[in-house]
Structure 1
């Protein structure tokens, strides 16, 4: 695959906060349909739906397609009127159908458009043949996080939310994930919802279905990707789209839960919810997901990693990297933004997850929510904190430069492993609110390597970028 430029994780501009991204190829372009967080927002998904796309021949060349559906277009107001995670499918009439739910409801709504990234218009709510809106009655299954699969001439709609409690305040049931078949109108159910992943599903601890169903057919198997909340994106498979799914494993965690000794209690990156899906691009498979930023659950950004599916249908878990869709390591020379850190680790001991979360380094930006002007940086590096970047293909190097600001006195150790001896040390002696450059000699062995920056000292500082010379 030819790419005009290198691409990082997150793969969209740093000012863009698109979580819950469902990847779909329509024609010769890859589209990402997700919810839309607001920088410094007070809740999930506060902005309108927007769309980004890239040519499948060059997935570094992302284009902002604009707003495709506004909150105000939803015809009735329920609670917070927030647009949660959507999905899009192309109907048999050639039009595109946007499935979504709004906060504080148990209804899946649908909007329609003549193009995948045009202006969608409200179409209706998922209903039965009598006109009854599914999810509005007591003891119906709670409708949430729609995922759509077009399988030959059949249409399947997946949904479901499964917190610890078993029903909501109106008696709608949290049973796990469920599926219904739709008529060709993309709106009317053909079969009643039935459970495909129950709250008692057989799986390892911490791997049960929580939300975010995303189903793809790959060869002769149906892959059901879902969020297990804090541990990442897991998957089940079946020979059928509506039954007999068997747990297979964990695909991806932006916190590297399950890799290199990391767990939900010892994450390699700030931990939180997760949502995404699989797409095949030019013969290669990728898992799309999101990461957290701004020290909050409400500023999530789109990330992706290549995956491999073996001859038995198994997907090995992949680690979080900074290179993601790049097709290989980043060039081991040049300037890189600090916000592409795939590992942010605080080795200090805290009394609770909440205190750790509040004290840990994080990715953020200056200014307000916007649709232009990059400016993210790594904030609040202090003693015992590590920022990791994977991977680079190094050749000849002689110097490394970091652009920092803050009030700190100590050493920034540069290592090739999360736990390892430094190959160089940058002296940190700063008391400035303006960005300044600090450097050290840098001679690294040729080949594919990671970079880790570990601070030891007093005070704290922000890092905007680093340059490998």
Structure 2
């Protein structure tokens, strides 16, 4: 019996909605795992929720995620915004963002999954990120859109700012659509928006944050203010000055380029928050995407990244270009369906449409419909597909033997032609399926062989241009 793909992108179950994920590798009771701490989009009509849950995976298998349950619940009858967790000594400290991020408390636990208890109010602010340095000193970073970001050293109580250490505006901040005030610190270079996450990388202090671009980025299809980026700057000191870094992640989906290099996004970008982490010798960026028609059902995503020092003294993070073996530039890594499954998704399992990273061409704005039903085999459909829409998956692994058939499942029986393409949304057609409206599942033979790893796209064609369709899942068979 066929199984459903799990641990892809998003890497948590398709019913789970944990954005803002701060990844941490902790060894507890002799087992080393990567833990993710984020907010919890369960309110459905607003950001986040009233509890935090903790998910983890063994460092040698980032497709095998386990939920440890609720780690912290609000003590103020409020929505909890993005947290962070660090370990110092034998204690784990959670910086919980009560009252929609306006009150930061620090709670503690003897296990990385909590429960985190005895919250103590702090003077930290929005989106706190914490760094425990190699010498055991502790630094806090925080700040929000259209307001300064801050850095300060904390006392041994993990809550109190050490006198004389507060630094204001280590990065210039961006504008803000709901508070467009220029206080003299707005920067088109830094564009700090929110999501502070300090990390130590090869001896450098790396300030990861959500950047808001105020200027066009044509190669990524960005022409209006956009804060779908995770970016970074780096320094020799925890307080800066911070030098130019770059962009690590952008959640606008696959970027289509024209002959002049101008890009078009294929996914609904939205706010971004996360960080990087070295896991079992490989670096990854943890970030989030949007589902639904708003930003209230975000999901945890992961991509491998490259990290390297250049002869110019710059730290490069992301998709790095090398010249004669030396890094010379970097750009955001691509947004994929495979995530940490770097060999591609198994073509012979059920693959939910909810893993698509390319949804393009719909006249109604096709999107992945959020699901909250906690069941084992789940698929989240792409809905509001219309004539000419393509839905794509990067990447699928076919192995050494070519499949003979492909199966496509709609959510409801409709009359539509589905063309299966590989490598590009305009690529080679390998199968045609003609749904005549009497069934929601169809099997078709492949007209050509496929082996190895490929991007796969489904093109929907209909006589009625106003008709809409819902794509549920697909699989291949030998």
**Mapped contact 2:431–2:444 kept (Cα < 8 A):** no
Q: How many residues align?
A: 417
The 3 A distance-change label for structure 1 pair 365 and 249 is: closer
Secondary structure (helix, strand or coil) at the match of 2:354 reads helix
**Superimposed CA distance per residue, residues 85-121 of structure 1 (whole angstroms, 9 cap, x where no aligned partner):** 00001123x2111112234553321111111102111
Choose from 183, 189, 194 the match for 2:161.
189
The correspondence for 2:116, drawn from 103, 115, 120, is 120
Secondary structure in structure 2 of the residue aligned to 1:85 = strand
Matched, 1:446 2:451: yes
Match of 1:393 in 2: 397
CA displacement at 1:386 relative to structure 2? 1.5
Q: Could you tell me which residue of structure 2 aligns to residue 155 of structure 1? A: 138
Counterpart for residue 138 of structure 1 = none
CA distance in 2, matches of 1:151, 1:285: 19
Residue segments in structure 2 that go unaligned for 5+ positions in a row: 174-184, 213-226, 320-331
Corresponding residue for residue 251 of structure 1: 248
Partner of 1:145: 127
1:107-147 per-position Cα deviation (integer Å, ceiling 9, x unaligned): 32111111110211132111xxxxxxx37xxxxxxx20010
Q: Which moved more, 1:457-466 or 1:400-409?
A: 400-409
Report Cα offsets for 1:356-402 as digits up to 9, x if no partner: xxx32221256x55586634222222112221101123331221110
Q: Deviations over 1:304-341 (max 9, x none)?
A: 00001123221222101111111322234332222111
Q: Tell me the C-alpha RMSD between the 2 structures.
A: 2.6
Does the 8 Å CA contact 1:49/1:67 hold for their aligned counterparts?
A: yes
Partner of 2:352: 337
Asked if 1:460 corresponds to 2:443, the answer is no
Name whichever of 458-467 and 26-35 sits farther off: 458-467
The secondary structure found in structure 2 opposite 1:198 is coil
CA distance in 1, matches of 2:360, 2:85: 36
Question: Could you tell me the TM-score, scaled by structure 2's length?
Answer: 0.81
What is the deviation of 1:51?
0.4
Q: 2:91 aligns with which of 91, 95, 108?
A: 95
Shift of residue 223, structure 1, vs aligned partner: 1.7
Partners in 2 of 1:333 and 1:372 — Cα distance? 18
Once the two structures are superposed, the pairs formed by residues 273-288 of structure 1 within 5 Å of their partners are: 273-288=271-286
Show the counterpart of 2:217.
none
Query: Is 2:335 the counterpart of 1:364?
Result: no
- Between stretches 42-51 and 455-464, larger displacement belongs to 455-464
Provide the rounded CA distance (Å) in 1 between the counterparts of 2:261 and 2:109.
42
